[in-house]
């Protein structure tokens, strides 16, 4: 028998004997082959180990990540790789031992995202207080969407709502939810609510997928996670900026109540009316005061006051003038007589004084002072004596009627 024949017989025997079995063991080693997508690992107990392989088609459906040291239960069959004469376990399904696969996958992803900072409060975006535009990422015909629309119409119908339809369960749901979130982020809304109504763990599992968590964390718009019932806590709840117990409660948490707004507006209206009435009263009082002041101090009123005062003063002046004229008419003849006598006396005195001054003038006139044969001697308009004149000096001789310019030809002392 050839080696190949032996390996083929062994292969047929093993595969016929161990066609569908379940094996429990601890993961001893694990390798994820990136190119092919196959999963290679080995399991062991305290006495031996066995190599295992899970091909890509089955590995894609695996909910949790294999880690060394984890106790698992592997379901599949035993086969032989004839080129090397090695037998191995071909796994078609794996689940954790003692705990569900989904529970382990949930815990693994939660720890991974927590280490990346997805749950930190400092990375949470603030939900706006006044939301004008809202995007709802959910299935368009779901009960959860119907509940949210009903609450919106009752609570705050003024908000503009955009519904982004997506699958919310099944194998295709995670990628669709992520793409719907990215689309909603480009709508420039104030907030995004992503979620669905209640269901089983498997029904809600799409919101526990890493691709959805990555999308929520990457968005620029604040996100509210509203999945299932209050007892359900999903990965999306931890990553989102706000967790709502149900889709309906998400609306109540982020949108105001129109009745409360109307009540508040009524209160504000009453307060504003009271304030306006008070302001109007004070302004009216001030206006009346200013109006009176304006009339009192206006140019027209001042002119009228001046006119009245002028008329009064004019009448007083005329009265005084009439009184004075009556007084003056009595004393006028006496004044006239006294005035005439004063003028006559003054004229006589002036005539006497004039005659006296005339006589003085005649006596003081140099021309009248010079006697015949006598003359005034001057040089350069200055009177001098003959004694000061020298031979050849020029001088002026002047009497009352004649002026002679002379020159000294001879001088002698008498």
DSSP string covering 364-412, please? H-HHHHPPTT--EEEETTEE--GGG--TT-EEEEE-SS-EEEEE-----
Write out pLDDT tens, residues 321-372.
Answer: 888 888 777 777 777 788 888 888 989 899 999 888 887 777 666 555 555 6
Write out pLDDT tens, residues 93-103.
Answer: 888 876 566 77
CA distance 38 to 120: 35
**Superfamily designation of domain 132-256:** Response regulator (3.40.50.2300)
The three-state (H, E, C) secondary structure of 160-224, written as one string: EEEEEECCCCCCCHHHHHHHHHHHHHCCCCCEEEEEECCCCHHHHHHHHCHHHHHHHHHCCCCEE
CA distance 82 to 3: 9
Q: Residue 398: what pLDDT?
A: 85
The residue that leads in pLDDT, 288 or 163, is: 163
User: What percentage of the chain carries pLDDT values higher than 90?
Assistant: 32
Q: Residue 292: what pLDDT?
A: 82
Q: Residue 185: what pLDDT?
A: 95
Q: Are 410 and 388 in contact (CB under 8 A)?
A: no
Q: Residue 98: what pLDDT?
A: 64
pLDDT-based confidence at 240, cuts 50/70/90?
A: very high
CA distance 213 to 202: 17
- Tell me what the pLDDT averaged over the chain comes to: 87
Q: Which fold has domain 3-98?
A: OB fold (Dihydrolipoamide Acetyltransferase, E2P) (2.40.50)
CA distance 253 to 255: 6
Q: Are 376 and 385 in contact (CB under 8 A)?
A: no
Domain boundaries, the chain: 3-98, 132-256, 365-414
Distances 285 to 148, 274, 301 between C-alpha atoms, Å: 55, 17, 22
Q: Residue 369: what pLDDT?
A: 55
- Which of the listed ranges 99-108, 151-160, 254-263, 367-376 does the model predict with the highest average pLDDT? 151-160
pLDDT-based confidence at 153, cuts 50/70/90?
A: very high
* Partners of 87 in the β-ladder: 80
Q: Residue 368: what pLDDT?
A: 58
Q: Residue 145: what pLDDT?
A: 93
Other Cβ atoms less than 10 A from the Cβ of 405: the count is: 9
| pLDDT for 188 beyond 90 | yes
Q: Residue 100: what pLDDT?
A: 64
**Exposed/middle/buried for residue 203 (C-beta within 10 Å: 0-12, 13-18, 19+):** middle
pTM above 0.75, yes or no: no
Q: Please compute the mean of the pLDDT values over residues 172-186 and round it to a whole number.
A: 95
The residue that leads in pLDDT, 5 or 214, is: 214
């Amino acid at each position: 028998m050839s080696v190949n024949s032996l390996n083929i017989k062994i292969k047929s025997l093993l595969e016929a004997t161990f066609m569908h079995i379940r094996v429990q063991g601890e993961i001893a080693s694990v390798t994820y082959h990136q190119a092919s997508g196959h999963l290679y690992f080995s399991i062991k107990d305290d006495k031996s180990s066995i190599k295992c392989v899970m091909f890509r088609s089955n590995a894609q459906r695996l909910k949790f990540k294999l880690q060394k040291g984890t106790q698992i239960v592997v379901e599949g069959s035993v086969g032989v790789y004839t080129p090397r004469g090695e037998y191995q376990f071909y796994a078609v399904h794996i689940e954790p031992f003692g705990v569900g696969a989904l529970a382990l996958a949930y815990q693994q992803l939660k720890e991974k995202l927590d280490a990346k900072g997805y749950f930190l409060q400092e990375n949470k975006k603030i939900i706006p207080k006044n939301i004008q535009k809202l995007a709802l990422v959910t299935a368009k015909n779901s009960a959860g969407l119907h509940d949210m629309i009903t609450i919106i119409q009752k609570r705050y119908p003024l908000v503009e709502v955009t519904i982004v339809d997506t699958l919310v369960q099944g194998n295709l749901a995670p990628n669709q939810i992520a793409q719907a979130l990215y689309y909603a982020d480009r709508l420039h809304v104030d907030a995004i609510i992503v979620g669905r109504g209640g269901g089983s763990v498997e029904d809600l599992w799409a919101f526990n997928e890493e691709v959805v968590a990555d999308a929520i964390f990457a968005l620029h718009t604040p996100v509210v996670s509203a999945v299932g019932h209050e007892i359900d806590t999903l990965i999306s709840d931890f990553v989102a900026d706000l967790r709502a117990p149900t889709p309906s409660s998400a609306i109540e948490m982020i949108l105001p109540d129109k009745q409360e707004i109307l009540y508040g507006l009524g209160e504000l209206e009453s307060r504003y009316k009271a304030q306006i009435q008070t302001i109007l009263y004070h302004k009216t009082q001030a206006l009346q005061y200013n109006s009176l002041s304006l009339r009192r101090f206006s140019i027209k009123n001042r002119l009228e006051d001046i006119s009245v005062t002028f008329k009064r003063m004019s009448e007083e002046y005329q009265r005084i003038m009439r009184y004075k004229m009556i007084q003056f008419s009595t004393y006028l003849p006496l004044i006239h007589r006294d005035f005439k006598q004063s003028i006559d006396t003054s004229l006589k005195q002036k005539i006497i004084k004039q005659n006296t001054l005339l006589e003085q003038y005649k006596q003081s006139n140099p021309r009248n002072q010079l006697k015949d044969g006598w003359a005034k001697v001057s040089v350069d308009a200055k009177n001098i004596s003959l004694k000061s004149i020298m031979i050849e000096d020029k001088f002026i001789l002047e009497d009352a009627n004649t002026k002679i310019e002379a020159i000294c030809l001879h001088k002698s002392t008498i």
